[in-house]
């Protein structure tokens, strides 16, 4: 797991005080921290049929984007595991 974080450029360290690994304070995960939902001014009631359709479509699009992000994450993990298992034992 720590090697995966390092390969992804995530700055981590061991915190002796709490005896745990931590990510450097202030570090932002770009895929996680990008705003997905933007504030919108809604004039009609939230239960209006046209709002429901638009909101449902938007949620589906964001869900699919999240799924693609998870797929990329899993591919990275799988390649890391394959790399570690392919290395010869000393």
Domain boundaries, the chain: 1-34, 41-90
Helix (H) or strand (E) holding 58, with range, is: helix 49-86
The tens digit of pLDDT for each residue in 19-47 reads 998 988 888 776 655 555 555 555 555 55
Cα dihedral across residues 64, 66, 72, 77: positive or negative: negative
Which run of H or of E encompasses 20? strand 20-23
Lowest mean pLDDT among 26-30, 33-37, 57-61, 77-81: 33-37
Q: What pTM does this model have? A: 0.40
């Amino acid at each position: 797991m720590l090697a995966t974080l390092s390969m992804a450029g995530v700055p981590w360290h061991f915190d002796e005080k709490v005896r745990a690994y931590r990510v450097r304070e202030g570090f932002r995960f770009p895929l996680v921290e990008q705003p997905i939902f933007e504030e919108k001014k809604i004039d009609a009631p939230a239960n209006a049929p046209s709002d429901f359709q638009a909101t449902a479509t938007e949620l589906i699009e964001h869900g699919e984007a999240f799924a693609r992000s998870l797929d990329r994450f899993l591919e990275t993990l799988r390649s890391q595991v394959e790399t570690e298992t392919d290395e010869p034992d000393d």
